[in-house]
Amino acid sequence: MFDLENANINTYERHQYTLDELRETFDHRYEELPSLLLQDSIDSHVHAGPVLMSNPGYCDPIEIAIEARNAGMKALVYYDVFGWASGTAWMVNRHVKGIKTFGGYLMNSCHGGMNPRAVKTALKMGDGCRFISFGSHCTYYSASREATLIDGKLVPLKDAYPKFRDEELSRAVRIKLDDPVPPELDEILSMIAEHEEVYLNVGHVSVEEALRLVELAQRYKIKKVLICHPVRARMSVQQQIELANKGVFLEGCAVDFLYPPAPRTHYYVEKEYRDMSDALPFMHSGTYAFFDVLKAVGPEQIVLGTDYGIRSAPSAVQGMRTMISTLLDFEFDTEDIIKMVSRNPARLIGID
């Protein structure tokens, strides 16, 4: 409970309730239950900076780790679209006790895109990264669809700005859909396979590219694969069920259904390259659709996090509590919630 006499300190003690004491029915729900389920949870997708000065964050990596620890969370996984999140986690772990943090590496264009040397470095930096992602906003699929507004209409950046097309698309990450496997991709997949603790994150690629990466992961004997935002709400429910049956992890994030759309420089520093495509309906599936998909796919391979970190969204910890609260609102069983916010992320990351 919070100490009301010293509220500015925000001292938090764990509730003494048990899950058995807080079994909900439709007519009787508990405000304490989300906080109880937040304990031992893991947010496996946190952005905590450093970030572009034009798109400030909510808080820094140490601050969010302290907030998560005080809420009783078990771990965080940092994402950094510009740098080395495993180095960030190493620094946080040295100074914040009582919670474990991890980081990964995203193959974005500012590090040369599909760059085996960068991946090799990431695997050995800090405490070592826990995931290798094939990129976010600057995969070819994503970059070719991010858009600006011209005369009230969305126009892809590649069509509006020839410089963007010539410079950015040429170095964006693309996954070849057939054999032979390109040398750079072969080297990267081989390195991931050598590190059993590391999972392959397909990144913001097309559904076809994601399925190709799953196929290649099996060929290269990579133990764990994560489909991110499956993939940005374009992967069918049946495809997700089939992947889950193969042991592939499927990510769901608070940002997929609760996110304030606005013109932001997510990745590119140029003002004209702000992505305005959040207005498109396929970017965010809507709350009902998001939770309907979770129910249809089932909880066994679902990993839930936030993907929060920008100034205009809640903190990642607040986002996790909102995720849990909304799962309860949609009448998910508490055991299934624990699987998706605690046990499955722990299996993915490789911690007890």
pLDDT tens by residue, 213-272: 999 999 999 999 999 999 988 999 999 999 999 999 999 999 999 988 778 887 889 999
Tell whether 280 is covered by a domain: yes
pLDDT digit string (tens) for 26-75? Answer: 888 888 999 999 999 999 999 998 888 888 889 999 999 999 999 999 99
pLDDT value of residue 209? 98
* 113 in Cβ contact with 107 (< 8 Å): yes
Tell whether 243 is covered by a domain: yes
Helix axes 85-95, 61-70, angle to 10 degrees: 50
Could you tell me which residue, 266 or 180, shows the higher pLDDT?
A: 180
Choose among 70, 116, 61, 122: nearest CA to 93: 61
Distance CA 88, CA 105 (A): 11
Tell whether 37 is covered by a domain: no
pLDDT at 100 over 90: yes
Tell whether 76 is covered by a domain: no
pLDDT value of residue 137? 86
How confident is residue 275, by pLDDT bands cut at 50, 70 and 90?
Answer: confident
Helix axes 183-194, 116-123, angle to 10 degrees: 10
* 272 in Cβ contact with 161 (< 8 Å): yes
Tell whether 38 is covered by a domain: no
Choose among 115, 90, 113: nearest CA to 101: 90
* 330 in Cβ contact with 291 (< 8 Å): yes
Tell whether 317 is covered by a domain: no
Q: Which pair of tokens denotes residue 287?
A: 């709350």
CB atoms within 10 A of CB 334: 17
pLDDT value of residue 283? 47
pLDDT value of residue 1? 42
Domain holding 148, by residue range, is 104-305+322-349
Distance CA 266, CA 55 (A): 7
Tell whether 85 is covered by a domain: no
Estimate to the nearest angstrom the gap between the alpha carbon of 153 and the chain centroid: 29
Distance CA 278, CA 286 (A): 12
Domain count, the chain: 1
Range among 63-72, 141-150, 270-279 rated most confident: 63-72
> CATH number of the domain that 153 lies in?
3.20.20
Which amino acid, residue 320?
Answer: M
Predicted TM-score (pTM) of this structure: 0.92
pLDDT at 79 over 90: yes
Give the pLDDT mean for 188-207.
Answer: 97
pLDDT at 15 over 60: no
Share of the chain above pLDDT 70, in %: 93
Tell whether 331 is covered by a domain: yes
How confident is residue 5, by pLDDT bands cut at 50, 70 and 90?
Answer: very low
How confident is residue 7, by pLDDT bands cut at 50, 70 and 90?
Answer: very low
CB atoms within 10 A of CB 285: 20
* 169 in Cβ contact with 144 (< 8 Å): yes
